[in-house]
Amino acid sequence: METINILWRNIKWRFQTPISILLTIIQPLIWLLLYSAIANQSMQKISDGNYTAFILPGIMVLVTFACCSSSGYINFTMKSKGSFYRILIAPVRRSSIVLGQMLEAACVSFFEVAIMVIMGIFLSVHIASGFIGLLLMVPLIFLTAFFMSGLAYAISLCLPHEAIYETIMNLIVLSLFFASTALFPMKNISGALKIIVTINPFTHVINCLRSLILCASIDWKSLLSVTGLFICLCCGSFALALWRLKKETVS
């Protein structure tokens, strides 16, 4: 119940500040509408004819990054208004505070990813794996959002103000996005960059999402291995965020 209360509180803040939702969705929309349209002709050879469908998984992950990054601003807003410290001294479990914050980022991620998928359908993107594939995308997006939101929450608790937070999160998000297969297939990458792209966990999430969109058959082995990897990463990010919040309480 404590987690639900924290979750609902954060969701109300988000929708009372709709500019935060608008800002996190503008950049991915630009990528999806403009970049895919401009690059579609030159990229058809590497994307089997539909570059919009090819980059849609990467844009979905980028939307998730943006949502989770923006959720860190809630901490700074709460601190400026004093509500952050009131929650800390309230009889609320620290794990509930962290979980409510992380689930809020996941909920908003689903909302914005759904918009991206609908936009993709209007741009002739067809999900080859059908309704089952669409359902299988849900846990992948959730785990991606949960991991990133825990990381963003921990980072926001370490920094003094939002300007530094924004700079660091932009660096992390853009580095993870471009050092992945979001825009180009793995076969077009070589050398040291290929190693970096391979060890980037989001490369594998994007590949799984892309496979569900472009392929009629489902690669269960890859899907289960990526799911297991991100469950471990989610546990780690939750533990990191919880540790940092407890340290904030002590200090």
Domain count, the chain: 1
Contacts of 185 (CB under 8 A, 6+ apart): 46, 47, 54
Domain that holds residue 99: 2-250
> What is the model's pTM?
0.88
How many residues are present in the chain?
251
User: Helix 2-16 crosses helix 18-30 at what angle (to 10 degrees)?
Assistant: 70
User: Which of these, 189, 181, 190, lies nearest to 214 by C-alpha position?
Assistant: 181
Q: Which two tokens stand for residue 73?
A: 């601003």
* Per-residue tens of pLDDT for the chain, all 251 residues: 677 877 777 777 777 766 766 776 776 777 777 766 666 655 655 556 677 888 889 989 988 988 888 777 777 777 777 667 677 777 778 888 888 888 888 888 888 888 888 888 887 888 988 899 999 999 999 999 999 999 998 998 888 888 888 889 889 998 999 899 888 888 878 888 889 999 999 999 999 999 999 988 999 999 999 999 999 999 999 999 989 888 876 65
